[in-house]
């Protein structure tokens, strides 16, 4: 079955960096876009970043643009979120989620992402605190 497993969370001081990983299994990773979504403690969901199936295009929320970088390694079936210049307000559970568009069976040259998320990983917690 489709599985997404995040790792790399932890406690980090403001201004430092952290890299999250999301290992995928149970599907052809290289034909799907991937997303990161976060949830601050007791709050709602916030989309963070997306990357298309072949890694050639990325999208970011304004709140993380210039500080976070999404990337992927298709042979390793893994998507990453490199987080730099971390702030207290980046404290959250970070979920990776698969995009719903399978580019193996349709032409994704114009619209490589469906932009809804299914499934989600279980999340990894990031705490930014001095």
Residues in contact with another protein by CB under 8 A are 35, 37, 44-47, 50, 59-62, 95, 100, 114-123
Cβ count near 124 (within 10 Å): 21
What is the 8-class DSSP label of residue 16?
A: -
Residue with Cβ nearer another protein (14 or 111): 111
What is the 8-class DSSP label of residue 56?
A: S
Q: Cβ 13 to another protein, closest distance in Å? A: 27
Residue 70 host element (H or E):
strand 68-73
Q: Cβ 31 to another protein, closest distance in Å? A: 17
Q: Cβ 86 to another protein, closest distance in Å? A: 20
Nearest alpha carbon to residue 7 among 72, 67, 78: 78
Residue with Cβ nearer another protein (2 or 130): 2
Q: Cβ 105 to another protein, closest distance in Å? A: 16
What is the DSSP pairing of strand 78-83 with strand 68-73? antiparallel
Residue with Cβ nearer another protein (13 or 115): 115
Which residues, including other chains, have CB under 8 Å from residue 27's CB and lie 6 or more apart? 2, 98
Residue with Cβ nearer another protein (71 or 114): 114
């Amino acid at each position: 079955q489709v599985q997404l497993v995040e790792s790399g969370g932890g406690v980090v001081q403001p201004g430092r960096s952290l890299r999250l990983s999301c290992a995928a299994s149970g599907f052809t990773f290289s034909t799907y876009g991937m997303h990161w979504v976060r949830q601050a403690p007791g709050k709602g969901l916030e989309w963070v970043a997306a990357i298309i199936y072949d890694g050639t295009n990325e999208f970011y929320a304004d709140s993380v643009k210039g500080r976070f970088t999404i990337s992927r390694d298709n042979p390793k079936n893994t998507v990453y979120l490199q987080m730099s210049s971390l702030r207290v307000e980046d404290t959250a559970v970070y979920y990776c989620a698969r995009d719903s568009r399978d580019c193996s069976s349709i032409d994704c040259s114009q619209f490589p992402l469906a932009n809804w998320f299914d499934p989600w990983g279980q999340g990894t917690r990031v705490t930014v605190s001095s």
